[in-house]
A and B are shown apart, each in its own frame.
Chain A
Amino acid sequence: MDLGTHGGFILGAYGFTVLTLALLIGNAVRDRRAQERALAAFRDGEHR
């Protein structure tokens, strides 16, 4: 579709939003994994 003369700005705005949301979600998942790994390490320690 034709975005007219300002296509770059529109795509830039959507692109930035997608990027920020991706960073937000990626960071949340990474953080969760790290905490779960740390918890798992404790659990292993108890069994030994």
Chain B
Amino acid sequence: MWTRLANPGHFLRWSVALTPWLAGAAALTGALGLYLAWFVAPPDYQQGETVRIMFIHVPAAWLGVFFYGSMVLSAIGTLVWRHPLADVAQRAAAPIGAAFTLICLVTGALWGKPMWGTYWVWDARLTSMLVLFLIYCGIIALWRTVEEPNRAARTVAILTLVGAVNLPIIKFSVNWWSTLHQPASILRMGGPTIDPTMLYPLIVMIVAGTLTGIALHLYAMRTEILRRRVRTLTIREAERLDPGASVMVAYPAGPSA
């Protein structure tokens, strides 16, 4: 079943059918989540109303990590099975993951200012997120510099995997580093015990965010497939118009459409 779903032609068909439903579900759960977050969840006894930032901060953090995970899976798909869709999926995921990571960082900063008295602390968690964002930026930048899609796919897949090997090491070393430096008083957010009146809105918001992310991802994947098709057609057109020049652009056309 999976091989059938992953066939590019089939993918175009089922993703077209699925995306509106996903988007609708995302809008509904988002509305429900926002309602719960704003009107049902009580203000925190310590943090007051600012705790409402948590309902976008935590889902954004989850999505930033989630999309990196999906990119790692796609990278393995590109390198091991050379699956054309894996590369498309990875390319579409990077900007979305980067955007959510950025949202996480900015909302975290805006939450930190009233709570900790500063926009930024070099806390282990914040720093890890910042590094994740930097890696996203590197991946996107690399994609823009390598022109030929198949080569870009493999290059970025290797970088993604190297990043994935490094991320736990970075996380570990940043943890070590921040305990070493003993940051001043930091209010731990929530902690493991979080009141159900806050937990349910948070879960709803996480589900809504994930649905939004997946809908965006499927949409961007189809755009990416169209882009490949346009590219193939452009090259074919150029070869038709000027057969002599085809040597210049000749490259394995590969599974680009």
Contacts and interface: CB of A to CB of B under 8 A. Distances in A.
B230 A42 contact: yes
Interface in B21-66: 38, 43, 48-50, 52-53, 56-57, 60
A14 B55 CA distance: 10
Interface residues of B, number: 33
Nearest to B95: A24
Given A25-B216, A35-B223, A39-B230, A16 B103 contact: yes
Contacts of B89: none
A: contact size bracket? 20 to 34
A41 B98 CA distance: 32
A45 B236 CA distance: 13
Ranked 10 nearest A-B pairs via Cβ: A35-B226, A6-B114, A13-B107, A13-B110, A38-B230, A32-B223, A13-B53, A4-B49, A9-B110, A42-B233
B43 to A, nearest CB: 8
A17 B223 contact: no
Interface in B219-257: 219-220, 222-223, 226-227, 229-230, 233, 237
Contacts of A45: 237
Interface string B97-108: 001001100110
